[in-house]
Amino acid sequence: MNELQSLSQIFQNKLFRIPDYQRGYAWQDSQLRDFWEDLINLQSDRNHYTGLLSMKVLSKDEAKKLDTDDKWLLDSGFRPYHIVDGQQRLTTFVILLNEIVEFIASLPENESKPDENIYLGYENLKDIKAKYICRKRPPEGFIITYLFGYENDNPSAEYLKHKIFGEKFGGTLKETYYTKNLLYAKRFFNKEITAFYEKGGMDGIAELYRKLTLRFMFNIHEIEDDYDVFVAFETMNNRGKRLTNLELLKNRLIYLTTLYDRSILDEINEAALREKINKAWKEVYYQLGRNENTPLSDDEFLRAHWIMYFSYSRKKGDDYIKFLLRKFSHKSIFMNFAENETPVEDDTIPVVVDDEDTDDPSDVQENEAVEMAPGFLAPKEIADYVNSLNETAEYWYYTYYPEECNTISKEEKVWIGRLNRIGIGYFRPLVAVSLIPSVGATAEERINFYKAVERFIFIDFRMAMYQSSYQSSEFYRNARKVYNNEMKLTEVAALLNEIADADAPSAIQVFVTKMNKRFISNDGFYSWRDLKYFLYEYEYSLVSQYKIEKLQWADLTKVVKDQVTVEHILPQTPTKAYWKNQFRQFTAEEIKTLSATLGNMLPLSQSINSRLQNDSFEEKKNRGYYNGSHSEIEVSKESDWDANKIYERGIKLLHFMEERWNFKFASQEQMEELLHISFVNDGRDIPPELIEEESSAEEIVVPSDISDDDLKLQFWTKALPVIVDAFGDNSTYSNVSPSTRSTLDGFVGIGGINLYCTMRLRKHTLSANIWIDVKNREKNKKIFDVMFARKDNIEKIVPYAIGWNRGVKRSSTVNVEIENVDFNDTGRWPELIDFLATTCVALKSELITACADELHAVIDGD
Residues forming a β-bridge with 816? 768, 802
Question: Could you tell me the CA-to-CA distances from 801 to 9, 39, 58, 558 in Å, in that order?
Answer: 54, 38, 57, 11
What's the rounded mean pLDDT across residues 759-769? 84
Residues forming a β-bridge with 216? 48
Residue 457 has pLDDT above 90, yes or no: yes
DSSP 399-430: HH-GGG-TTS-HHHHHHHHHHHHH--GGGHHH
* H/E segment holding residue 662: none
DSSP 217-270: EEEEEE--SHHHHHHHHHHSTTSSSPPPHHHHHHHHHHHHHTTS-TTTS-HHHH
Question: Could you tell me the CA-to-CA distances from 632 to 86, 239, 795 in Å, in that order?
Answer: 59, 56, 24
DSSP 42-73: S-TT--EEEEEEEEEEPPHHHHTTS-HHHHHH
What's the rounded mean pLDDT across residues 242-257? 82
Helix (H, G, I), strand (E, B) or coil at 722: helix
Buried/exposed 154-187: b ≥16 CB within 10 Å, e otherwise: bbbbbbbbebbbeeeeeeeeebbbbbbbbeebbe
Q: What is the SS3 assignment for 456-507? A: HHHHHHHHCCCCCCCCHHHHHHHHHHHHCCCCCHHHHHHHHHHHHHHHHHHH
Give the whole-angstrom CA distance, residue 20 versus residue 282.
10
Q: Quick one: which of 660, 678, 673 has its CA closest to 462?
A: 660
DSSP 523-577: -GGGG-TTHHHHHHHHHHHHHHHH------HHHHH---TTEEEEEESS-SS--BH
pLDDT attached to residue 364: 37
| Neighbour-count burial of 131, counting CB atoms closer than 10 A to its CB (0-12 exposed, 13-18 middle, 19+ buried) | middle
pLDDT attached to residue 338: 35
What's the rounded mean pLDDT across residues 697-707? 56
pLDDT attached to residue 8: 93
If pLDDT is split at 50, 70 and 90, which confidence band does 415 have? very high
- What percent of the chain clears pLDDT 70, i.e. is strictly above it? 85
Pairing of strands 2-6, 563-568: unpaired
* H/E segment holding residue 853: helix 852-861
Residues forming a β-bridge with 124? 119
Residue 233 has pLDDT above 90, yes or no: no
Residue 404: CB partners within 8 Å, gap ≥ 6?
A: 397, 398
Pairing of strands 601-609, 48-57: unpaired
What's the rounded mean pLDDT across residues 168-195? 86
768 phi, psi to nearest 5 deg: -110, 135
Residue 156 CA, chain-centre distance (Å), reads 25
Give the model confidence (pLDDT) of 634-648 as tens digits: 999 999 999 999 999
Residue 795 has pLDDT above 90, yes or no: no
Question: Could you tell me the CA-to-CA distances from 29 to 178, 181, 185, 189 in Å, in that order?
Answer: 13, 9, 8, 11
Is 706-861 CATH 3.30.1460?
A: yes
Compute how many other C-beta atoms are within 10 angstroms of the C-beta atom of residue 843: 22
Residue 700 has pLDDT above 50, yes or no: yes
Residues forming a β-bridge with 218? 5, 51
Q: Are 31 and 241 in contact (CB under 8 A)?
A: yes
737 phi, psi to nearest 5 deg: -100, 150
pLDDT attached to residue 269: 93
* H/E segment holding residue 341: none
Give the model confidence (pLDDT) of 356-370 as tens digits: 343 333 343 333 333
Residue 447: CB partners within 8 Å, gap ≥ 6?
A: 409, 411, 412, 415
DSSP state of 694: B
pLDDT attached to residue 169: 67
Biggest CA–CA distance in the chain, Å, is 103
pLDDT attached to residue 728: 64
**Which is higher by pLDDT, 312 or 285?**
285
Question: Could you tell me the CA-to-CA distances from 718 to 577, 712, 739, 834 in Å, in that order?
Answer: 19, 10, 11, 11
Give the whole-angstrom CA distance, residue 453 versus residue 335.
44
Give the whole-angstrom CA distance, residue 613 versus residue 95.
54
What's the rounded mean pLDDT across residues 221-229? 64
pLDDT attached to residue 859: 39
The alpha-carbon radius of gyration of the chain (Å, integer) is 33
Give the whole-angstrom CA distance, residue 377 versus residue 265.
12
What's the rounded mean pLDDT across residues 369-374? 42
Which ranges in 55-176 belong to alpha helices (H)?
60-63, 68-75, 87-106, 125-132, 155-159
pLDDT attached to residue 363: 41
What are 76-80's contacts with CB under 8 Å, separation 24+? Answer: 77/13, 78/13, 78/14, 78/15, 79/13, 79/14, 79/15, 80/14, 80/15, 80/17
Q: Quick one: which of 539, 538, 519, 541 has its CA closest to 528?
A: 519
Give the whole-angstrom CA distance, residue 533 versus residue 175.
34
Give the whole-angstrom CA distance, residue 47 versus residue 215.
5
If pLDDT is split at 50, 70 and 90, which confidence band does 752 have? confident
Q: What is the pTM of this model?
A: 0.62
Pairing of strands 134-136, 123-124: unpaired
Give the model confidence (pLDDT) of 88-119 as tens digits: 999 999 999 999 999 999 999 998 899 999 99
Q: Are 575 and 698 in contact (CB under 8 A)?
A: yes
pLDDT attached to residue 413: 96
Residue 656 has pLDDT above 90, yes or no: yes
Helix (H, G, I), strand (E, B) or coil at 819: coil
Average pLDDT taken over every residue of the chain: 83
If pLDDT is split at 50, 70 and 90, which confidence band does 171 have? low
Q: List the domain boundaries for the chain.
A: 2-235, 245-340+349-356+375-501, 535-586+601-681, 706-861
**Which is higher by pLDDT, 848 or 698?**
848
User: How many helices, marked H, and strands, marked E, lie in the chain?
Assistant: 33, 17
Buried/exposed 784-801: b ≥16 CB within 10 Å, e otherwise: bebbeeeeeebebbbbbb
pLDDT attached to residue 129: 92
